[in-house]
Homo-oligomer: A and B are copies of this chain.
Amino acid sequence: MRLLGMQPKGFRCCAKNVGIKDTSLDFTVITSDVPAAAAAMFTRNSFCGPAITVGREHVRDGRLQAFVINSKNANVATGEQGLANVREVVRLVAEELSITPEDILPSSTGVIGRQLPMERLRQGIAGIQQQLRYGHLEQAAQAIMTTDTYPKMHCCRVGNATLVGIAKGVGMIEPDMATMLAYFMTDASLTPEQLHTILKDAVDDSFNMVSVDTDTSTSDTVAIMANGLAGEVNLADFQQALRDMCVRLARELARDGEGATKLIEVTVKNALDGQQAKRVAKSIVNSPLVKAAIFGADPNWGRIAMAIGKCYEQDTIVPEKTDIAFGYIPVYHRGLAMDEGHLSALKNYLRRDEISINVSLGLGDQQARVWGCDLSYDYVKINGTYTS
């Protein structure tokens, strides 16, 4: 995971433990040597945290110079005090880095409803300027984890520039317009407007297509800084690279979903429009019955039909035009269930750790692809004891 030669110019990072909950990494600062063009997308949850409020304010002018992120405490449902606390964290970090507070985007992730332990944060922030190192972003990827089982990071070259992305998120995941936490750093030169457009496109086809448990977090943030130190790049190439990286990270988030043993990819084709394709695909990937059956490798494909059929509010589904397959194994074809002979093939297929469900609605020519994971005993265990 070390970046080695692959690191964007002019980004330093520090990841440390300040003692928010235990002794694991819980606080990270990623900063650019020069102010960077920036764009960000946030959760639409009405109970969003004050870090979201401050982040929205600060990215509005398209310029950022640092991300400041704590894990283990979401600082949500904490009222005026919670807002004052995040402003103080931002101010203290800005003083340390000698940058303006308005160029910092803060994030908090973890338990909801508790105030940040400010005294520990103040002590942890003091002297952080001396702890910043070039590269080391894999430590940042580690520090933003909550119940993630491994840090998620990818990097690639685009012309002379480098793009690095880190992300976290395993539960309370059905992002909408944004996602969990994901940060991208590049030394390419791009305008804030360009960044905003390509970030939104990439997020729509990646993080917004992931659902671990239908629950939309109060802290979701995706942000990118482009500091320009590597000069101009081909915009289309950069857009493709960012999009590919978002999809890769999104798949990793699904695969590492809380308690997950399998990645589920659902592709719905031949829909009337993209929204219909997405609704049906999400209905399948979010069905607890489908998820539990896949966990148990139970060839109960009828539940896919149920999940398609329950999209009756907005969608006309025609069973006689619908096809359902697992990978290349057809299980339902336009009104008729598969031959029982396919059942043993399906049972074998379900032992894999990546399950593809392919649906054709036979209504139009649009499609969508979403990712999720199975529902296991460990999901219940992790979430039955999260704060206890």
Residues of A that sit less than 8 Å from B by CB: 44-48, 74, 76-80, 111-115, 171-172, 174, 213-218, 286-289, 292-293, 295-303, 305-312, 315-319, 331-332, 335-337, 375-377, 379-388
A312:B45 contact, CB within 8 angstroms:
yes
**Residues in chain B near residue A302, CB distance under 8 A:** 74, 76-77, 111-113
A302 and B215 CA atoms in complex are apart in Å by 12
6 CB contacts below 8 A, A to B, read: A47-B305, A79-B336, A80-B335, A113-B302, A288-B383, A298-B384
A300:B336 contact, CB within 8 angstroms:
no
A237 CB to nearest chain B CB (Å): 35
B218:A305 contact, CB within 8 angstroms:
yes
A157 and B314 CA atoms in complex are apart in Å by 42
**Residues in chain B near residue A80, CB distance under 8 A:** 335
**Residues in chain B near residue A216, CB distance under 8 A:** 306, 309-310
**Residues in chain B near residue A379, CB distance under 8 A:** 288, 292, 380
Contact of A77 among B171, B295, B337 (CB under 8 A): B337
Q: Find the residue from A286, A318, A319, A337 having the highest chain B CB count within 10 A.
A: A337
Contact of A215 among B215, B287, B385 (CB under 8 A): B287
A340 CB to nearest chain B CB (Å): 8
**Residues in chain B near residue A316, CB distance under 8 A:** 46
Q: Find the residue from A112, A174, A298 having the highest chain B CB count within 10 A.
A: A112
A237 and B311 CA atoms in complex are apart in Å by 37
Q: Name 9 extra pairs, CB < 8 A, besides A46-B317, A297-B384.
A: A45-B309, A46-B310, A47-B305, A76-B302, A111-B302, A214-B287, A216-B309, A288-B375, A377-B381
A287 CB to nearest chain B CB (Å): 5
A54 CB to nearest chain B CB (Å): 16
A330 CB to nearest chain B CB (Å): 12
A79 and B335 CA atoms in complex are apart in Å by 5
A213 and B307 CA atoms in complex are apart in Å by 12
Contact of A293 among B74, B79, B311, B386 (CB under 8 A): B386
In the complex, residue of chain B having the shortest beta-carbon distance to the beta carbon of A376: B380
**Residues in chain B near residue A309, CB distance under 8 A:** 45-48, 216, 218
Q: Find the residue from A214, A295, A318, A382 having the highest chain B CB count within 10 A.
A: A214
**Residues in chain B near residue A381, CB distance under 8 A:** 296, 377
**Residues in chain B near residue A335, CB distance under 8 A:** 77, 79-80
A214:B376 contact, CB within 8 angstroms:
no
Q: Find the residue from A216, A308, A332 having the highest chain B CB count within 10 A.
A: A216
Across chains A and B, which 4 residue pairs bring their CB atoms closest together, nearest first? A296-B384, A112-B302, A47-B309, A292-B383
In the complex, residue of chain B having the shortest beta-carbon distance to the beta carbon of A173: B289
**Residues in chain B near residue A336, CB distance under 8 A:** 77-79
B301:A113 contact, CB within 8 angstroms:
yes
B319:A77 contact, CB within 8 angstroms:
yes
A255 CB to nearest chain B CB (Å): 18
**Residues in chain B near residue A382, CB distance under 8 A:** 292
A146 CB to nearest chain B CB (Å): 13
A306:B215 contact, CB within 8 angstroms:
yes
Q: Contacts A46-B308, A309-B45: A78 and B337 contacting too (C-beta < 8 A)?
A: yes
A288 and B305 CA atoms in complex are apart in Å by 22
A354 CB to nearest chain B CB (Å): 18
